[in-house]
């Protein structure tokens, strides 16, 4: 998958979990490899830069002025017009703000090539956000010549400066560079810093590390469950699904089927296909909730529309009457 400004994926790791030891049977159950994901979208982070009207000016190298104020209020063209002269005169904060507007097409046509130029100029002046974004551009290679070595250096610099996304990305780079236990042990400190800063992806990574006793962390399911909860509270759907499973099974703490069902339902409502299938089964079995064949069928219909086929649920579906199927289809359409 090509790297992009809004969502970046590297097919990195079986996470050195397999390299440090065979994956235990009790490993966190997930759909695919959750640590592939490298977030680049500030709206994924709930620690201060979640929305345009709550943007941390530190991202732009301290810009508490009229340009930043306009940006914060969603007046993007005004912000651009105010910041551009300063950017052209070498102000790195203004350069970063201009790049942000251009890269996301805020109030104007998106121009990622021009944004890359501004990120490059600001990164040379040491703005961590610009260093992070330009590292992604260099890794991508669509708008500038691909340069993994320089991208690595910039990502490390941004990570050391405290950029949470850079910390998570740099951890991924370390594991990619050394896809064994040593690489993971080096990466853990960066996962930890990003997780402590509130990045849900990193919190989920920490849950995996504790669940498997990897990266120098001793196995601790209670701690793993704590990290799952933190990520789940930020609407990280895979964490919600895993936390639901753990609560249903009593892993890492007391069994709580009602809460487990609730977390899986949140993930299902958010579009997680595996969670939709799990919720269907729980309604069918009456676990954590009252049994309801119509809702069980409705949630399975949603999962099946996304390509998931479960033999158990297929058998259940085959046993429904025509009227029950009709009602389930109507309910599924409303759920969608």
The answer to whether 40 and 138 are in contact (CB under 8 A) is no
pTM summary value? 0.81
DSSP 105: T
Asked which of 32-36, 48-52, 90-94, 326-330 is least confident by mean pLDDT, the reply is 48-52
* Between 36 and 290, residue with greater pLDDT: 290
Judged on CB neighbours under 10 Å (0-12, 13-18, 19+), 319 is exposed
CB contact burial 13-25 (16+ within 10 A = b; e otherwise): bebbbebbeeeee
pLDDT tens readout for residues 212-221: 999 999 999 9
The confidence band for 139, taking pLDDT boundaries of 50, 70 and 90, is very high
Residue 9, φ and ψ in degrees, nearest 5: -125, 135
* Between 99 and 10, residue with greater pLDDT: 99
User: 37 pairs with which residues across the strands?
Assistant: 9
Residue 39 three-state SS? strand
pLDDT, mean of residues 26-49: 33
Ranked by mean pLDDT, the top range of 23-37, 49-63, 105-119 is 105-119
pLDDT tens readout for residues 247-295: 999 999 999 999 999 999 999 999 999 999 999 999 999 999 999 999 9
Q: According to the model, what pLDDT value does residue 225 have?
A: 98
Please state the three-class secondary structure of 67-96 as a single string: HHHHHHCCCHHHHHHHHHHHHHCCCHHHHH
**For the residues of 173-240, what is the DSSP string, one character each?**
HHHHHS-SHHHHHHHHHHHHHHHHTT-HHHHHHHHHHHHHT-TTPPP-HHHHHHHHHHHHHTT-HHHH
Q: Report the mean per-residue pLDDT for the chain.
A: 85
Q: According to the model, what pLDDT value does residue 81 have?
A: 96
Any idea which residue has 């309910």 for tokens?
A: 331
pLDDT, mean of residues 314-324: 95
Any idea which residue has 């049977």 for tokens?
A: 25
What does the domain layout of the chain look like in residue ranges?
7-222, 277-335
Any idea which residue has 């501004």 for tokens?
A: 118
Q: Which fold has domain 7-222?
A: 1.25.40
Instruction: State how far the Cα of 163 lies from the Cα of 334, in Å rounded to an integer.
Output: 41
Sorted by sequence, the CB contacts under 8 Å of residue 228 that are 6+ apart come out as: 28, 203, 204, 207, 239, 242, 243, 246, 252
Q: According to the model, what pLDDT value does residue 100 have?
A: 95
Q: According to the model, what pLDDT value does residue 25 have?
A: 28
Q: According to the model, what pLDDT value does residue 58 have?
A: 61
By C-alpha distance, which of 176, 200, 193, 174 is closest to 185? 174
Sorted by sequence, the CB contacts under 8 Å of residue 183 that are 6+ apart come out as: 16, 174, 175, 176, 177
As a whole number of angstroms, the longest Cα–Cα distance in the chain is 72
pLDDT, mean of residues 126-144: 96
Q: According to the model, what pLDDT value does residue 53 have?
A: 34
Q: According to the model, what pLDDT value does residue 301 have?
A: 97
Query: Cα separations (Å) of 117 from 5, 80, 254?
Result: 14, 15, 53
Instruction: State how far the Cα of 161 lies from the Cα of 138, in Å rounded to an integer.
Output: 19
pLDDT tens readout for residues 146-171: 999 999 999 999 999 999 999 999 99
Q: According to the model, what pLDDT value does residue 13 have?
A: 28
Q: According to the model, what pLDDT value does residue 65 have?
A: 79
Instruction: State how far the Cα of 327 lies from the Cα of 219, in Å rounded to an integer.
Output: 46
The answer to whether 5 and 104 are in contact (CB under 8 A) is yes
């Amino acid at each position: 998958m090509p790297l992009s400004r809004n969502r970046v994926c590297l097919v990195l790791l079986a996470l050195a979990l397999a390299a440090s030891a065979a994956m235990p049977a009790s490993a966190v159950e997930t759909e695919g490899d959750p640590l592939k994901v490298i977030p680049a979208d500030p709206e994924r982070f709930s620690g201060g830069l979640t929305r345009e009207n709550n943007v941390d000016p530190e991202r732009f190298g301290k810009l508490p002025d009229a340009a930043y104020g306009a940006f914060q209020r969603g007046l993007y063209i005004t912000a651009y017009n105010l910041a551009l002269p300063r950017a052209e005169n070498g102000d790195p904060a203004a350069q970063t703000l201009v790049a942000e507007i251009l890269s996301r097409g805020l109030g104007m046509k998106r121009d990622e090539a021009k944004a890359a130029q501004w990120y490059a100029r600001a990164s040379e002046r040491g703005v961590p956000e610009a260093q992070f974004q330009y590292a992604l551009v260099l890794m991508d290679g669509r708008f500038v010549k691909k340069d993994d070595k320089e991208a690595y250096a910039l990502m490390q610099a941004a990570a050391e400066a405290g950029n949470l996304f850079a910390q998570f990305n740099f951890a991924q780079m370390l594991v990619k560079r050394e896809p064994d236990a040593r690489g993971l042990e080096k990466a853990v400190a960066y996962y930890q810093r990003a997780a402590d800063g509130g990045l849900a992806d990193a919190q989920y990574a920490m849950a995996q590390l504790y669940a498997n006793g990897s990266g120098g962390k001793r196995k601790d399911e209670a701690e793993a469950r704590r990290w799952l909860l933190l990520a789940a509270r930020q609407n990280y759907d895979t964490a919600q699904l895993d936390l639901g499973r753990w609560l249903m099974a009593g892993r890492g703490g007391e069994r709580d089927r009602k809460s487990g069902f609730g977390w899986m339902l949140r993930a299902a409502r958010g579009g997680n296909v595996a969670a939709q299938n799990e919720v269907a089964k729980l309604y069918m079995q009456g676990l954590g909730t009252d049994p309801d064949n119509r809702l069980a069928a409705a949630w399975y219909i949603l999962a099946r529309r996304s390509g998931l086929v479960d033999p158990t649920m297929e058998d259940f579906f085959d046993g429904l009457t025509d009227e029950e199927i009709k009602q389930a289809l109507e309910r599924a359409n409303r759920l969608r």
